[in-house]
Structure 1
Amino acid sequence: MVTTKSPKQRRFAPGEVIISEVTPDDLKSLAEGYYASFPARWFDSIEPAHLRAEEDVRVARFAERMTPWISEPHTRWTKAILSPSSPEYSASDPNRVIGHAGWLLPGRTRCKIMSFWRRDASDALGWREKMGWSREYEDELWSGTDLKSYQGSLLLWDKVREGYLCGVGHWHLAPLWVVPEHQGRGVASLLLQDAIKLADEENPAPPMYLEAMRDARPIYEHFGYRGIEGEGEKFAMIRNPPDGVEVREKGK
């Protein structure tokens, strides 16, 4: 997923944005960026006002839920930050994450299709035991979320992905975001290019799959993704589709 663009600004020059791997120290900034970047209608459905905690609590809970993600094998979690060479670099906040891409890699998706965003991923992947969380503590981490709405969407997306790619190792993108003030400036392209370069070095190049909002499709199409014909056609996109997966023409 990626969000809509902000008003037109200059694109970043080469070297102004640094793409690197996420560390545990980045998780708070990642959570802040996630809440800043996605549209209000998304949060209204999964974190409705009557359940929603204060912003600092929401950020802390989400950062904690992400903690086990970045140590899982066969994943790639990347961040975009501003280089000191950028005129917009802030010495007071030098490591602020302005964009993020999270990928599940073929070594994982070949054997199991499960989005890390799902509530039941913790049970399936043993995160509670790994992190030393009690069940009560983990329930608290999710207490601001409408789990029926939230889990329902993710289960549907995984069901659709499994129908197309069960047993096929692929790159799965979830999520991709750029903070509003830097959208439309080339950051999302850099995050995508980082992964595409690595995927295309494999022989044969594996499929790359994602779920995208309608207004985000053009950037993915620019990098070779196409909408899928059939179940999930409103959100599913794929690059390097395997035999039997039908895709739409660019712009359709």
Structure 2
Amino acid sequence: MAGTAQKPEVELLPVTQEDLPLIAEGHLAAFPTFYAPLEPSFKLPSHEIRVQRFTHRLFKILSRPDTLWTKAVLASGPEKGKFVGLAVWHKPGAPVVNPKRRWIEGAAEESEEDKQAWEHVDMEAWEKVWTEWDAVRARIMDGKDHWYLCPVWVVPGYQGLGIGRKLMQQVLDLCDAREPPTPVYLEASKEGKPLYEKLGFEVVGTSDYVEMVRWGKRE
């Protein structure tokens, strides 16, 4: 299947805690240049420990009631059940604080394991990225309830086969079922921007990861 132009049959399912190690691997593979300056090479542990720590941090986000996690898995064939994509969303009404931030108002006190999960991360650089993105999102959305994509990715070999679009459409359909439709906000990579434009998003910012909003469904 991988590397072919045939569109696979895909099922969307909720993410479970057992999926998180694979998701940690997928995040690091999908956004290597993003994470590199936030996790300096001189501080990096082994890849196995790096994934374990990221898995722990992801569990803290998965357990939050204001996030929605959806995985795409192959629905048929010899690799039925194979994980091929992910979308993570911040729900409407949640504070404009990126869920990847280390310190979130109201969070429980950190355990020793929590602290160890951040040992190799440049916290000044980490918080700077998210606080700047949060400030731009707060300004653009100006108190409007909205969904926030953070992020979506598809496993290499299955990209360009409609899986990312299907992951996006799950929430876009929820947005369009409301009157007026609920806006959706995201920061797009250069690779992802064309897909988002096809789904009705418009550019509203100028960052390297360009800010985009879908205000409502296309007529």
Does the TM-score normalized on the shorter chain lie above 0.5?
Answer: yes
Report the Cα distance in structure 2 between the residues aligned to 1:19 and 1:211, rounded to whole angstroms. Answer: 23
Report the Cα distance in structure 2 between the residues aligned to 1:125 and 1:67, rounded to whole angstroms. Answer: 17
Q: Is the 8 A contact 1:227 1:233 kept in 2?
A: no
Report the Cα distance in structure 2 between the residues aligned to 1:43 and 1:182, rounded to whole angstroms. Answer: 22
Q: How many residues are matched? A: 215
- Give the 5 Å matches for 1:124-143: 124-128=105-109, 133-134=110-111, 136-143=112-119
Q: Which has the higher strand share?
A: 2
- RMSD across aligned positions (CA): 2.1
1:215 CA displacement? 2.6
Give 2:174's match in structure 1, choosing from 192, 198, 202. Answer: 198
1:73 CA displacement? 2.2
1:220 CA displacement? 0.6
Give 2:28's match in structure 1, choosing from 10, 35, 43. Answer: 35
Matched, 1:119 2:112: no
Identity %: 33
Report the Cα distance in structure 2 between the residues aligned to 1:44 and 1:28, rounded to whole angstroms. Answer: 19
Cα-to-partner distance string for 1:32-80 (whole Å, 9 max, x where unaligned): 2112222x32232111211112111111111111113223223211111
1:232 CA displacement? 4.4
Cα-to-partner distance string for 1:191-237 (whole Å, 9 max, x where unaligned): 001111111111111110001112320011010011115x6486100
Report the Cα distance in structure 2 between the residues aligned to 1:238 and 1:86, rounded to whole angstroms. Answer: 37
Give 1:23's match in structure 2, choosing from 16, 21, 25. Answer: 16
Q: What residue ranges of structure 2 are gaps of 5+ in the alignment?
A: none
Give 1:66's match in structure 2, choosing from 42, 58, 61. Answer: 58
Amino acid at match of 2:183: P
Give 2:201's match in structure 1, choosing from 215, 225, 231. Answer: 225
Matched, 1:238 2:209: no
Q: Determine helix, strand or coil for the equivalent of 1:236.
A: strand
Q: What residue ranges of structure 1 are gaps of 5+ in the alignment?
A: 1-6, 242-252
Runs of 4+ in 1 over 4 A off after TM superposition: 231-234
Q: What is the TM-score when the length of structure 1 is the normalising length?
A: 0.78
Q: What is the TM-score when the length of structure 2 is the normalising length?
A: 0.89
1:156–1:199 Cα change, 3 Å: same
